[in-house]
């Protein structure tokens, strides 16, 4: 079996190998690191095995089906929209801003640079936060 965990501080999922019946061992690892991971999946045996179990941090250690897992992932997706200053719009030759998908609220400050008048965060097409507020 293979466990893949996407930790909050890493860009890619980290694999953990285990034997044929290590689901409980993997769940203990997930429980121990509950505040550090975003999602996890357990694969079956073999190189092209299907995913057996899905986990999402917002649901704790409950095993999810694929539909529930995707709903949990999509409910957290935040898209940022950058609104440029008039000078920056002239320099770019465009009146529109820039949309940046799949970011976090913590990333908003890093996009607020010279030439940016504000950064807006949307979740499910609803404005949830503006930086600076």
Give 38-49 pLDDT, tens digit per residue. 899 988 876 678
In whole angstroms, what is the distance from residue 89 CA to residue 95 CA?
Answer: 6
Predicted pLDDT of residue 73: 78
Predicted pLDDT of residue 22: 78
In whole angstroms, what is the distance from residue 69 CA to residue 76 CA?
Answer: 11
Quickly tell me which residue has 């607020």 as its tokens: 112
Please tell me whether the overall predicted TM-score, pTM, comes out greater than 0.75 for this model.
no
In whole angstroms, what is the distance from residue 120 CA to residue 129 CA?
Answer: 6
């Amino acid at each position: 079996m293979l466990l893949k965990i996407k930790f909050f501080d890493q860009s890619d999922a980290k694999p953990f190998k285990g034997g044929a019946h290590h689901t409980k061992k993997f769940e203990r690892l997930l429980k121990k690191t509950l505040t550090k991971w975003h999602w996890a999946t357990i694969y079956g045996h073999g190189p092209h095995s299907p995913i057996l179990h899905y986990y999402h941090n917002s649901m704790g250690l409950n095993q999810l089906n694929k539909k529930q897992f995707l709903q949990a992932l999509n409910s957290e997706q935040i898209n940022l929209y950058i609104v440029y200053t008039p000078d920056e719009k002239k320099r770019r030759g465009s009146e529109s801003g820039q949309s940046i998908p799949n970011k976090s609220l913590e990333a908003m400050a890093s996009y607020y640079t010279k030439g940016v008048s504000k950064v807006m965060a949307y979740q499910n097409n609803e404005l949830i936060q503006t930086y600076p507020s």
